[in-house]
Amino acid sequence: QQGYTLWMDYAGSNPQSRKNLKFLAKSIYMEAGSDILKSAQNEIEIGLSGLLNEKLNFSDTMENDNSLVVSKVSSLKGSWSQSMDVSSEKLGNEGFYIRSRDGGILVTANTDIGLLYGVFRLLQFIQAGHHLEDFSLLDAPSVDLRMLNHWDNLDRTIERGYAGFSLWNWQKLPEYIDQRYIDYARANASIGINGTVLTNVNANALVLTPMYLEKVAALADVFRKYGIKVYLTARFSAPMEIGGLETADPLNTEVRNWWAQKTNEIYKWIPDFGGFLVKANSEGQPGPQNYGRTHVDGANMLAEAVQPHGGVVIWRAFVYSEDDETDRAKQAYAEFVPYDGQFMENVLVQVKNGPIDFQSREPFHPLFGAMSKTPLMMEFQITQEYLGFSSHLVFLPKLFEEVLQSDTYVKGKGSTVAKVIDGSQHNKRISGMAGVSNIGTDLNWTGHPFAQANWFGFGRLAWNPETKANDIAEDWIKLTYTNNKELIALLKPMMINSREAVVNYMNPLGLHHLFDTGHHYGPGPWVDNLGRPDWNPTYYHKADENGIGFDRTKSGSNALEQYSDEVSYTFGNLKTCPETYLLWFHHLPWDYTLNNGNSLWDGLALRYQEGVDQVSEMIETWEKARNFINNDQYHEVKMLLDIQLKEAKWWRDASLLYFQTFSGMELPEGVPKPTKSLEYYKSLKFPFAPGIRPQWD
Ligand code: BDP
């Protein structure tokens, strides 16, 4: 069962530090009533008794001498109501307030779900070894929709999923409720996630048929108890595929009626259904453009159908058309900006963090500064499609934080992406953040034990986009391993630096999309034979005898014009462009001089080497951590780190050998000569890589 309990191992270590909290078990009052409150009680029962190693005594009434009271503000009585010393308005619909007082602790909120979140947070504080004396904490989410996107297919394969098969056992549903569904919901609620899209964006219309809706309803019944709404992907051609219509034209009356009725039917099964996520006119998915209509026509048709039920439509901006050969990075902006202000009130446009596709580093997507009238939802990828799958240790909150803290300058300095996403920048009526899930049937849910931290961290950032990656790492270590200071001092920097390591050994200096065909795993910078130019790595690095990099300045694709003047100036000017984005925005000669005086070629080679060295350091750190963790935990990660080191070297050697054919320059000192030939690296094949969509690049 290694890793199954995630960050909720209530029987775990640190019992010493909790001795002084044993009093909490004395007399617990918990408000009862709803299913969500039952979940809260259940969590206290397993959580607190596990953490304190003590039998819990519950009291049926709220008394002044209770040791723990979990109750809504409106039901507080006697001295407990006096302990509520903050304005309840600040708690909103989902926030909570926890405070200690003489001999007791209060957890309160305006709503049941607020109480559940408060209970989880209290348990986490205890678990992390906090003493809770003179303690008070008020917290409320700043983002409305905090969602996982599962790219799960109905046959239980997962597109870009590297942790086994889909959790949703369609064959045994609706009768059989796997304990995993409950534990999945608990884990999500513990970090504030309140929505889940069950199915792949490359959608299958069958999930909208009664046979499946009954199963979806069974899952929704489980998740509802944890405040999690279910959403489905809507295949745009569903009216034809399962409705027998001849068209899916969004302006056709029959089509509109079909969606309205289908939606009513869904809400009969699932009264609190969240809504639809749609990938349309992208990578072969059907959409309104098939009928000469627009994204607005398509999104608004569905929005109209879900509106009477309070649902939303999340329309993806991940589009890039086949015929535009200038620059894929520009296309989503070009297609969507003209529609700003035309979407219905219950539509959110979901934008990937960068303009290409979930690379280990991309500048922020220009749409984040450009649609002031449309709620823009962030789409991060938690599954490591382009970051070493579940074999490489990469702490993604560092990447997420970098994107969220990027300044769009749309309303002057400080207009960060975080503020666009939480809606405060433009006073948006609704806000959201989605993460493409990295969860599957693997015992530990995520494949790599440290990939759990990415799920955890996503939840924390969706709750509050201003959260610091550093704090997330520290909390996760405490909850997952122990709160031992020496261990934290080892693991925290290892996790924090792991993101830069993968950038260095895969995509240094702003290079991107250099993967070999099909799997998005190993290096293939030489690939130039795929069906579309923008599926080929050569399209992205543009290396030749004269240099390397994608010119996105005025002399090139001018993608920079899609950013505000400040941003476009900074990135467009070689003096001010951070070297981390150098080759993303500029095509430069091999002998161009970098900030530290190195030539571009030497600097590039040294970056690859640095990535390899960073992985070696991670291995050294892990050896030191051995004293603080059990043997199984040690060995599992050790084997994975060894793979990561081998593959970091593979990336370095294959990439440098290939680029050397253009630069014609020697490797600088400190970078070992590759032991194999370029032909060897080109010949490498994968016997099996999970998560592939066969027809894809
Ligand atoms: C790309 C993936 C592809 C997804 C697509 C998407 O390679 O499998 O379908 O994104 O987000 O990253 O729709």
Contact (CB, 8 A) for 364 and 417: yes
Ligand 1 atom closest to the CA of 381, numbered from 1:
12
**β-strand 104-109 against 96-101: which pairing, if any?**
antiparallel
**Whose CA is closest to atom 1 on ligand 1?**
357
For the cut 60, the answer to whether the pLDDT of residue 319 exceeds it is yes
160, 199, 535: residue to mutate for ligand 1 pocket, most atoms within 8 A of CB: 160
What is the rounded distance in angstroms from the CA atom of residue 367 to the CA atom of residue 348?
13
Higher pLDDT residue, 10 or 490? 490
Cα of 520 to ligand 1 centre, how many Å? 11
Ligand 1 binding pocket includes 693 (Cβ within 6 Å) = yes
Ligand 1 binding pocket includes 160 (Cβ within 6 Å) = yes
Query: Dihedral angle at the C-alpha atoms of 239, 245, 246, 247, nearest 10 degrees?
Result: -30
- Tell me, what's the pLDDT at 665? 98
Cα of 324 to ligand 1 centre, how many Å? 19
Contact (CB, 8 A) for 95 and 141: yes
Backbone angles phi, psi at 583, to 5 degrees: -85, 0
Q: Tell me: do 40 and 70 sit in the same domain.
A: yes
- Within a domain: residue 69? yes
Catalytic-role residue among 265, 272, 283, 617: 283
- Tell me, what's the pLDDT at 46? 95
Nearest to 649 by CA among 684, 617, 685, 613: 613
Ligand 1 binding pocket includes 697 (Cβ within 6 Å) = no
623 catalytic per annotation:
no
- Within a domain: residue 536? yes
Last residue of a domain, one of 87, 108, 139: 139
Ligand 1 binding pocket includes 362 (Cβ within 6 Å) = no
Last residue of a domain, one of 105, 139, 173: 139
DSSP secondary structure string, 42-83? Answer: HHHHHHHHHHHTS---B-SS--TT-SEEEEEGGG--HHHHHH
Q: Tell me: do 393 and 413 sit in the same domain.
A: yes
Q: Tell me: do 53 and 155 sit in the same domain.
A: no
Neighbouring-strand partners of residue 376 = 349
Ligand 1 binding pocket includes 159 (Cβ within 6 Å) = yes
DSSP secondary structure string, 243-302? Answer: T--S---TT-HHHHHHHHHHHHHHHHH-TT--EEEE--SBTTB--GGGGT--HHHHHHHH
What is the rounded distance in angstroms from the CA atom of residue 465 to the CA atom of residue 237?
35
- Tell me, what's the pLDDT at 1? 47
- Within a domain: residue 569? no
What is the rounded distance in angstroms from the CA atom of residue 535 to the CA atom of residue 552?
18
Nearest to 502 by CA among 491, 490, 492, 514: 514
- Within a domain: residue 556? no
Cα of 314 to ligand 1 centre, how many Å? 16
Mind listing the pLDDT tens digit for each residue in 331-386? 999 999 999 999 999 999 999 999 999 999 999 999 998 999 999 999 999 999 99
Backbone angles phi, psi at 186, to 5 degrees: -60, -45
The rounded percent of the chain whose pLDDT value lies above 90 is 92
**Cβ-based neighbour number of residue 595 at 10 Å:** 10
Neighbouring-strand partners of residue 100 = 105
Ligand 1 binding pocket includes 385 (Cβ within 6 Å) = yes
- Within a domain: residue 366? yes
- Tell me, what's the pLDDT at 233? 98
Catalytic-role residue among 335, 357, 647, 697: 357
Cα of 373 to ligand 1 centre, how many Å? 27
632 catalytic per annotation:
no
Cα of 129 to ligand 1 centre, how many Å? 41
- Tell me, what's the pLDDT at 129? 87
Q: Tell me: do 244 and 340 sit in the same domain.
A: yes
What is the rounded distance in angstroms from the CA atom of residue 403 to the CA atom of residue 399?
6
Cα of 352 to ligand 1 centre, how many Å? 10
- Within a domain: residue 577? no
Mind listing the pLDDT tens digit for each residue in 539-561? 999 999 999 999 999 999 999 99
Q: Tell me: do 474 and 536 sit in the same domain.
A: no
3-class secondary structure, 316 = strand
DSSP secondary structure string, 598-619? Answer: -BHHHHHHHHHHHHHHHHHHHH
For the cut 80, the answer to whether the pLDDT of residue 167 exceeds it is yes
Mind listing the pLDDT tens digit for each residue in 238-277? 999 999 999 999 999 999 999 999 999 999 999 999 999 9
Domain containing residue 272: CATH number: 3.20.20.80
Q: Tell me: do 117 and 169 sit in the same domain.
A: no
- Tell me, what's the pLDDT at 692? 76
Ligand 1 atom closest to the CA of 282, numbered from 1:
13
Ligand 1 binding pocket includes 346 (Cβ within 6 Å) = no
Residue 163's alpha-carbon distances to 156, 391, 504, 692, in angstroms, are: 12, 10, 25, 13
Q: Residue 189 — pLDDT band, cuts 50, 70, 90? A: very high
Q: Residue 585 — pLDDT band, cuts 50, 70, 90? A: very high
DSSP 88: G
| Continuous H helices in 481-519 | 485-506
Contacts of 167 (CB under 8 A, 6+ apart): 152, 178, 180, 181, 184, 439, 440, 441
Residue 519's alpha-carbon distances to 66, 293, 693, 696, in angstroms, are: 57, 34, 9, 9
- The Cβ-side half-sphere exposure at 254, using a 13 Å CA radius, reads 10
- Tell me, what's the pLDDT at 19? 81
> Mean pLDDT in the chain?
96
Ligand 1 binding pocket includes 500 (Cβ within 6 Å) = no
Burial class of residue 19, CB neighbours in 10 A (0-12, 13-18, 19+)? exposed
For the cut 60, the answer to whether the pLDDT of residue 309 exceeds it is yes
3-class secondary structure, 588 = strand
Ligand 1 atom closest to the CA of 436, numbered from 1:
11
Q: Tell me: do 314 and 293 sit in the same domain.
A: yes
**Whose CA is closest to atom 2 on ligand 1?**
160
283 catalytic per annotation:
yes
Query: Dihedral angle at the C-alpha atoms of 543, 545, 547, 549, nearest 10 degrees?
Result: -10
- Within a domain: residue 656? yes
- Tell me, what's the pLDDT at 694? 56
Ligand 1 atom closest to the CA of 159, numbered from 1:
8
157, 199, 283: residue to mutate for ligand 1 pocket, most atoms within 8 A of CB: 283
Ligand 1 binding pocket includes 201 (Cβ within 6 Å) = yes
Contact (CB, 8 A) for 549 and 586: yes
Nearest to 604 by CA among 551, 682, 660, 645: 660
162, 202, 387, 535: residue to mutate for ligand 1 pocket, most atoms within 8 A of CB: 202
For the cut 70, the answer to whether the pLDDT of residue 155 exceeds it is yes
Looking at 121-240, which runs of residues are DSSP E strands?
136-139, 145-149, 195-197, 229-233
Burial class of residue 379, CB neighbours in 10 A (0-12, 13-18, 19+)? buried
**Whose CA is closest to atom 11 on ligand 1?**
318
What is the rounded distance in angstroms from the CA atom of residue 519 to the CA atom of residue 107?
48
How many separate domains does the chain show? 3
Residue reference for tokens 């640095």? 610
Mind listing the pLDDT tens digit for each residue in 489-520? 999 999 999 999 999 999 999 999 999 988 89
The rounded percent of the chain whose pLDDT value lies above 70 is 98
- Tell me, what's the pLDDT at 690? 79
Q: Tell me: do 304 and 451 sit in the same domain.
A: yes
Cα of 280 to ligand 1 centre, how many Å? 12
Mind listing the pLDDT tens digit for each residue in 639-695? 999 999 999 999 999 999 999 999 999 999 999 999 999 999 999 987 677 777 655
Domain containing residue 127: CATH number: 3.30.379.10
Q: Tell me: do 264 and 380 sit in the same domain.
A: yes
Contacts of 616 (CB under 8 A, 6+ apart): 645
- Within a domain: residue 560? no
Range of 106's domain?
15-139
Average pLDDT over residues 27-34: 98
Q: Tell me: do 119 and 157 sit in the same domain.
A: no
What is the rounded distance in angstroms from the CA atom of residue 9 to the CA atom of residue 579?
42
Neighbouring-strand partners of residue 138 = 97
Ligand 1 binding pocket includes 513 (Cβ within 6 Å) = no
Ligand 1 binding pocket includes 386 (Cβ within 6 Å) = no
Contacts of 340 (CB under 8 A, 6+ apart): 370, 371, 372, 373, 374
Q: Tell me: do 245 and 203 sit in the same domain.
A: yes
Ligand 1 binding pocket includes 152 (Cβ within 6 Å) = no
Catalytic-role residue among 385, 442, 475, 647: 385
Ligand 1 atom closest to the CA of 357, numbered from 1:
12
Ligand 1 binding pocket includes 146 (Cβ within 6 Å) = no
Ligand 1 binding pocket includes 332 (Cβ within 6 Å) = no
Domain containing residue 539: CATH number: 3.90.1330.10
Q: Residue 326 — pLDDT band, cuts 50, 70, 90? A: confident
Ligand 1 binding pocket includes 467 (Cβ within 6 Å) = no
Q: How far apart are the first and last CA of the chain?
A: 36
Cα of 506 to ligand 1 centre, how many Å? 19
DSSP 133: T
Last residue of a domain, one of 448, 480, 512: 480
**Which tokens belong to 565?**
């003047």
235, 365, 377, 385: residue to mutate for ligand 1 pocket, most atoms within 8 A of CB: 385
For the cut 90, the answer to whether the pLDDT of residue 595 exceeds it is yes
**Whose CA is closest to atom 13 on ligand 1?**
201
Ligand 1 atom closest to the CA of 697, numbered from 1:
7
Ligand 1 binding pocket includes 18 (Cβ within 6 Å) = no
| pTM, entire model | 0.98
Residues in the chain: 697
Contacts of 441 (CB under 8 A, 6+ apart): 163, 164, 165, 166, 167, 180
Ligand 1 binding pocket includes 150 (Cβ within 6 Å) = no
For the cut 90, the answer to whether the pLDDT of residue 531 exceeds it is no
Q: Tell me: do 97 and 149 sit in the same domain.
A: no
Ligand 1 binding pocket includes 519 (Cβ within 6 Å) = no
**Interface predicted TM-score (ipTM) of this complex, two decimals:** 0.99
Cα of 236 to ligand 1 centre, how many Å? 17
Containing H/E element for 351?
Answer: strand 347-352
- Tell me, what's the pLDDT at 689? 74
Neighbouring-strand partners of residue 197 = 149, 231
